[in-house]
């Protein structure tokens, strides 16, 4: 039994020469493995370096893209503003540059003497009194028209800028007159606001007058077009911002 066990041991024990070459082979393997390992570590370190740089590059590029997108947006807005300005300029035969623009301050949305409100320019004409047709012509000569009231803030703005003068029958012509049974604004739209005075004057006509110092929503009077009054012109603003 003892011998048998010993034999059994001996069978699995390699001869002395083989043992030596085996350990050399082993250390060679170990060397190769550790070299590979080192190489892998170096590669991993390099790769992570590259990866890190790429990530940095990516975030830098994203930042640059954002900046470019912002610039593109600004340019688009500028282009639209310039197109708007060109559109307004092209409505004139002779554009009154000096009324809108000065060398040191640039161009204003409205001419001197006109007031900006919600991207529109208004002229409260208080020099002299005119018939409705004369007033309209004077507005049109300035590439505008008699005022059209088309929102709920405009009456308050106009009411703030107009004053009582001469007597209670006088006011400011609006771009509104009667055509058939409807009241039509000079831009062709039928009036839906109807801000008429509650107690109308006893001599009505077919043109609409704004009577100052009244509640803005009950301040219009019907008047004859030959009656002479102050008036309000409304035109496009040269710049939107």
CB 154 to ligand NAG: min, Å? 8
Residue with tokens 């509650």: 198
CB 161 to ligand NAG: min, Å? 8
CB 175 to ligand NAG: min, Å? 7
In the complex with ligand NAG, which residue's Cβ is closer, 100 or 162? Answer: 162
Main-chain phi, psi angles of 15, to 5 degrees: -65, 165
In the complex with ligand NAG, which residue's Cβ is closer, 80 or 160? Answer: 160
State how far the Cα of 203 lies from the Cα of 196, in Å rounded to an integer: 14
CB atoms under 10 Å from CB of 212, counted, come to 18
| CA proximity to 150, closest of 96, 97, 187 | 187
Give the binding site for ligand NAG (CB under 6 A): 50, 53-54, 57, 132, 153, 156-157, 160, 177, 184, 186, 206-207, 225
In the complex with ligand NAG, which residue's Cβ is closer, 85 or 138? Answer: 138
In the complex with ligand NAG, which residue's Cβ is closer, 115 or 239? Answer: 115
Bridge partner residues of 116 (DSSP): 121
CB 68 to ligand NAG: min, Å? 15
In the complex with ligand NAG, which residue's Cβ is closer, 132 or 227? Answer: 132
Segments of the chain assigned E as strands: 101-102, 106-107, 115-117, 120-130, 145-146, 172-179, 182-185, 207-210, 220-223, 229-236
CB 52 to ligand NAG: min, Å? 9
In the complex with ligand NAG, which residue's Cβ is closer, 84 or 124? Answer: 124
CB 71 to ligand NAG: min, Å? 19
Q: Is the dihedral of CA 74, 78, 79, 80 positive or negative?
A: positive
State how far the Cα of 144 lies from the Cα of 233, in Å rounded to an integer: 6
| CA proximity to 236, closest of 156, 80, 116, 153 | 116
């Amino acid at each position: 039994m003892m011998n048998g066990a010993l034999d059994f041991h001996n069978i699995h024990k390699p001869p002395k020469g083989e043992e030596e070459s085996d350990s050399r082979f082993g250390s060679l393997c170990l060397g190769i493995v550790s070299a590979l390992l080192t190489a892998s570590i170096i590669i991993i370190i390099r790769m992570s370096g590259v990866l890190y740089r790429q990530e940095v590059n990516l975030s830098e590029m994203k930042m640059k893209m954002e900046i470019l997108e912002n610039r593109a947006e600004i340019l688009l807005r500028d282009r639209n503003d310039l197109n708007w300005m060109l559109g307004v300029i092209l409505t004139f035969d002779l554009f009154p540059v000096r009324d809108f623009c000065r060398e040191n301050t640039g161009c204003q949305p409205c001419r001197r003497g006109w007031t900006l409100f919600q991207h529109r320019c208004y002229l409260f004409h208080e020099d002299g009194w005119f018939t409705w047709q004369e007033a309209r012509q004077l507005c049109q000569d300035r590439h505008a028209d008699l005022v059209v009231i088309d929102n709920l803030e405009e009456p308050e703005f106009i009411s703030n800028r107009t004053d009582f003068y001469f007597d209670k029958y006088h006011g400011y012509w609006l771009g509104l007159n009667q055509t058939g049974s409807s009241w039509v604004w000079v831009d062709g739209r039928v009036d839906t606001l109807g801000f008429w005075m509650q107690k109308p004057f006893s001599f009505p006509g077919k043109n609409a007058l704004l009577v100052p110092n009244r509640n803005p929503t009950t301040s219009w009077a019907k008047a004859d077009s030959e009656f002479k009054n102050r008036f309000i012109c409304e035109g496009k603003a040269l710049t939107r911002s």
